[in-house]
Chain A
Amino acid sequence: MIPAQFDYAAPESLGDALTLLAGKPDSKILAGGQSLIPILKLRLAEPAQLIDLGSILELHFIAETGGVIRIGAMTTHNQVETSELLREKCPLLAETAANIGDVQVRNRGTIGGSVVHADPAADYPAALLALEAKVRLVSRPPLPKSWETAGTVAGTALGQIVKGAKALWEEIEAKEPDPKRRQELKDWRVLPNKERVLRYADFLGDPDEMGTALGPSEILTEIHVPIEDDGAGVVYKTMVQPASGYAIVGVAVRLSVKGGKIASARVALTGVAAKPYRAAAVESALLGQAPSAELFSQAAQRAAEGVEALSDLHASAEYRAHLAGVQARRALEEAAARAK
């Protein structure tokens, strides 16, 4: 239960972190470490280098701009749980964060780390899907071919020198005798970062494929959650595996009612399948209908429709699928009661 050796860098800017990652692609990004460090200790991963985002202040924030709440990747679960802004304008996310692990894990674990780790039983995904959240991914363009090896060296060097990546690259560039290579590096250096904003649902990727849309040189920097002012009732309901505290089934519901009819219904589940998902069949059964116990009961039965439920020591596929229905119904009832 001791990690294998690795190098370590704690850049103070996102730019430095990206450059380090570009320079040494067999690095791993360290956020709060609550998923990664246990993996390292089991030696299930033996990265050459950890790039610790902990010192990058620009990744620690929760802010509202233009109808969107932006949450920096390094925001801890505890900060999400206790944020006044989120409690007021996005209570589902705060409620979900309060459900994660235990207090020590919430103090250390980050929303960015959790989203990137993409554990199928994590809590956030259900809420993020129900909120139609987006993620911002940033990367450096790949190093010029002629610099790939040198870049690795530079990346290693950077880990040891407390100095911005920009200065380091300038230094390396200045020392480069070959004018062609020097120019190539200079051209690369001034290239802007690449960035893209993906729907969280798209970030999760195809349900049948492993992994997320995160590229090897990308860092997830922000979560975007739209503020919707439709009086929706929101609920996150979960049943946890008693040892790990991870969700066997977690259901997030966002339900709004207008003129006695369900105007919008988003039902998302985590823990049930290899990837979290929106229960489209449930949502379509609800839309436009008058909320009632019977409606919720019928709709919720479709919570695992078309999904291959996971089966493990703690819950068989059959039981998980069943729980998905039960918890979805209960969540719908509560959300309806909370809707304005």
Chain B
Amino acid sequence: MSSPTTTKTEPFVGRRIRRQEDPRLITGTATYVDDIKKPGMLYFAVLRSPYPAAKIKSIDASKALELPGVRAVYTGKDAASVGPVPCAGSMPTLRVPHHTILATDRVYYVGHPVAAAVASDRYIAQDAVARIEVDYEPLDEVAADPEAALGKDSPRVHPEYPDNVAFTYHQEGGDVEKAFAEADVTVSQRFVVPRLAPSPMETRGVVAEYDEGAKELTIYSSTQIPHLLKTQLALQLNMPEHHVRVIAPEVGGGFGSKCNVWAEEALAGLIAMQVKKPVKWIETRRESIMVVAHGRGHITHVELAAKNDGTLLGMKLNIIQDIGGHHQLLTPIIPTLAVLMLPGLYKFRSFTADLTGVFTNRAPTDLYRGAGRPEATYVIERIVDIMADKLGMDPAELRRKNFPAPGDFPFQSATGLTYDSGDYAKVMDLALERVGYQNFLDEQRQARQDGRLLGIGLSTYGEICAFGPSPATPAGGWESATIHVEATGKVSIMTGISPHGQGEETAFSQMAADRFGIAMDDVVVIHGDTAKVHYGIGTFGSRGIAIGGTAVHLAMEDVVNKGIRFAAHLMEAEPEEVTFENGVFSGPGGKTTTFQEVALEAHLCRKLPPGTEPGLSATRFYEPANFAFPFGAHIVIAEVDRETGEIKLLRYVAIDDIGNVINPLLVDGQLHGGIAQGLGPALLEEVVYSEDGQMLTGTFMDYAIPKAKHMPWIESDRTVTPAPGNPLGAKGVGEAGTIGSLPAIVNAVVDALSPLGIQHIDIPMTPQRVWKAIQERSQA
């Protein structure tokens, strides 16, 4: 249950306050991109390759153009003036194939955009697409599997890169050979995190409008990064950047999939400028599952070395990242994040990882909620459990033995990251206490005697978030905030983040209402429009509060300080003599003036303090010195149906430490949703390609995202270790659930199956896969 927003009996920050965003969303009055209608607007639909690998011999659009209502057909030739779809990767070995917005002579994956038909409505556009005739020469051999694609005789995705290698990346620390030489025990395992379709409920969509008089191109896009998109669109379309405006209207979820620069965005801009009409493109769900960069696609071979007493010594990794046919914006960067986080929460120093990105005839991969960290956490938390099993140690004890102590922070990990703060044993112990670990072990012993397959799984995770220090991010990691106090004392906050469900309109209103002593309804949070918010990076990487919120905090302090100068001048006092609390400036001799009065005076400037400019507003940028490192422990109790392989999750306990919390209601929501997106790949989700490169899971009839009945009740709580790196003490929560849940669920199921001698089971752990594992064991 949430608290009221109007009556202020205590600070808003820290309370479960219902959202400012919701009234428009629950009444159907919010404006998503498909709700935008412009006079004379046209629509386009995209024709996509049915082949994973083919040459395009010719394209005949005449039958499409004959159709009444069809205005134009665009092919790769027509879009030749548009610059390539950008990739921000910069490692020295990186190969970036030329990535045109429409295919020219070759297609690299099923769904590769080939042509677009522009028509007066979306029905006719669809009819027109069906009439475009493409003469393909399908290639017999297809590099459909990332491991096979690295083979000597594999077909080439890009003829210019004969080994299909997109890049290689190596990282090491300590002395891994020595660690393995000194080890009493080593374990190894291959882990696959399959491709996942991010599947926000709103698919992608763009409206483009060109104002010929002003020479201004406006792109409405369902994006997480309007400012970055603006720059990239200007480059792609060869436009002066100040003539491009990007608006992210209401955005129906992103999960990283809209933190990208997509071919269709530039294509919409091109069409709007050339056809001289506003134009709309709305992606279908089939397109979304087919081509929106899949998350994961990550194969790891890991070896872990330990002493008999459980001291972990070192880790060796060989990682293959399925790139797909092209890079998208951050494609090669994501698996390097996985490498950085692979040591998990453990103290061992010796580490070596070899990562190879491989081109395949599949859709591009890129970031998806967690972006590398779920892959890393899955590998480390699974292999630690396998080690515990081999050592005959309690998995919690093994972890505890290898955690850095609270006094060890800031702690440098084996990959050189500086974990800012932590008390890992504390979250784990709280989780164990909540689940009733010792009682459960008794219950489990009894259940096993009864022939039941009952298991418990623990995952402790850490994550790198609050992205991030600019030198360590591909396109700037700072954030901006402008606070403008209107003459009437109402407050507008312009933030450079671009929330799309996270609730920062509420969180920032809470902060501003507290700081300025006003009602939350006196604050409006403006975002997602490059003409209204002049600088920004966007919303991704669990950065909204920690980075965007800190910028707001800094701007609020500037406003208060400036207000103090105005107030002091009004009171004929020195600024040092004036304080500000609960909306009231207090000066010497009991003089007071309100926030609203000062706002008006700052606007009217009847008495302008010397050296002070008019207006009560401030713009601040925040550049973080380090990332933040939230952590937590998730515990799952699962039971497996021995006959059918079905899995039932009986308990889910999540203890997370994300630093200070502004609104616990929003935090719980982020956590629940994140857990659902870890449960998905654990039990249900996988983008499947056939051996010949066709996608077999092209709709929600085959690609299973969790339904309400699949989710267990989540029992959650928090410990609070404030982030030392930012004044809010906030770390980030957007991805925590996704990172913590996957290994916890898998560990629980493997524990349930362990009496049968099963040490690992691949994800998603579908009933069929579980049954097969049981079968193989019982036949062995």
Contact = CB atoms under 8 A, between A and B. Distances in A.
Interface of A: 1-2, 4-5, 43, 239, 241-244, 313-316, 319, 322-323, 326-327
A239 B126 CA distance: 37
B643 interface: yes
Contacts, number: 46
B643 to A, nearest CB: 5
A283 B700 CA distance: 37
Nearest to A242: B704
A43 B130 contact: yes
Contacts of A4: 127, 130
Among A239, A319, A327, max chain B CB count under 10 A is at: A319
28 contacts: A1-B126, A1-B284, A1-B286, A2-B122, A2-B127, A4-B127, A4-B130, A5-B127, A43-B130, A239-B644, A239-B646, A239-B767, A242-B684, A242-B707, A243-B684, A243-B700, A243-B702, A243-B705, A244-B701, A244-B702, A313-B696, A313-B697, A313-B702, A314-B766, A314-B768, A315-B768, A316-B768, A322-B771
B771 A243 contact: no
B190 interface: no
Contacts of B707: 242
Interface string B131-156: 00000000000000000000000000
A43 B684 CA distance: 28
Contacts of A315: 768
A41 to B, nearest CB: 10
B126 A2 contact: yes
Nearest to B772: A319
A145 to B, nearest CB: 35
Nearest to B122: A2
A326 B702 contact: no
The 9 closest A-B pairs by CB, nearest first: A243-B704, A242-B704, A244-B701, A2-B126, A326-B643, A1-B284, A319-B768, A2-B123, A313-B696
Given A313-B696, A314-B766, A323-B644, A242 B710 contact: yes
Contacts of B700: 243
A323 B643 CA distance: 8
Given A239-B646, A313-B696, A319-B768, 13 more contacts: A1-B284, A1-B285, A1-B286, A2-B126, A4-B130, A243-B702, A243-B705, A244-B702, A313-B688, A313-B697, A313-B702, A315-B768, A326-B644
Among A4, A242, A315, A319, max chain B CB count under 10 A is at: A242
B403 interface: no
A313 B766 CA distance: 11
Interface in B729-780: 766-768, 771-772
Contacts of B122: 2
B169 interface: no
B440 interface: no
B411 interface: no
Contacts of A327: 644
A168 B413 CA distance: 84
A61 B772 CA distance: 46
Interface string B628-666: 000000000000000110100000000000000000000
A99 to B, nearest CB: 13
Interface of B: 122-123, 126-127, 130, 284-286, 643-644, 646, 684, 688, 696-697, 700-705, 707, 710, 766-768, 771-772
Contacts of B701: 243-244
> Chain A at the B interface: mostly helix, strand, loop or mixed?
loop
Contacts of B284: 1
Contacts of A323: 644
Contacts of A316: 768
Contacts of B705: 243
A2 B643 CA distance: 42
A243 B285 contact: no
Nearest to A46: B130
A62 to B, nearest CB: 29
Nearest to B284: A1
A319 B771 contact: yes
Contacts of B643: 326
A129 B152 CA distance: 55
Contacts of B768: 314-316, 319
B751 to A, nearest CB: 23
A149 B203 CA distance: 46
A5 B766 CA distance: 40
B1 to A, nearest CB: 27
Nearest to A244: B701
Contacts of B697: 313
Contacts of B710: 242
Nearest to B45: A2
A279 B130 CA distance: 45
A239 B127 CA distance: 38
Contacts of A319: 768, 771-772
Nearest to B710: A242
A268 B729 CA distance: 62
Contacts of A242: 684, 704, 707, 710
A315 B705 CA distance: 18
B644 A243 contact: no
A18 B122 CA distance: 34
Contact of B703 (A43, A243, A326): A243
A321 B768 CA distance: 12
A43 B127 CA distance: 10
Contacts of A244: 701-702
Contacts of B766: 314
A313 B684 CA distance: 12
A322 B373 CA distance: 38
Contacts of B688: 313
A327 B644 CA distance: 9
A239 B647 CA distance: 12
A242 B706 CA distance: 8
A2 B703 CA distance: 21
Nearest to A246: B701
Contacts of A239: 644, 646, 767
A250 to B, nearest CB: 14
A322 B701 CA distance: 24
A150 B412 CA distance: 85
A313 B646 CA distance: 16
Contacts of B702: 243-244, 313-314
A262 B20 CA distance: 64
Contacts of B703: 243
Nearest to B129: A2
Nearest to B767: A239
B528 to A, nearest CB: 27
A315 B768 CA distance: 6
A4 B646 CA distance: 41
Contacts of A243: 684, 700-705
A313 B690 CA distance: 10
Among A1, A4, A244, A316, max chain B CB count under 10 A is at: A1
B82 to A, nearest CB: 27
A319 B768 CA distance: 7
Contacts of B130: 4, 43
Contacts of A314: 702, 766, 768
A91 to B, nearest CB: 23
Nearest to B698: A42
A315 B772 CA distance: 11
A242 B684 CA distance: 7
A270 B415 CA distance: 54
Contacts of A326: 643-644
A314 B764 CA distance: 11
B345 to A, nearest CB: 32
Nearest to A319: B768
A242 B704 CA distance: 6
A315 B766 CA distance: 9
Contacts of A5: 127
Nearest to A330: B643
Nearest to A239: B644
Contacts of B644: 239, 323, 326-327
A223 B122 CA distance: 40
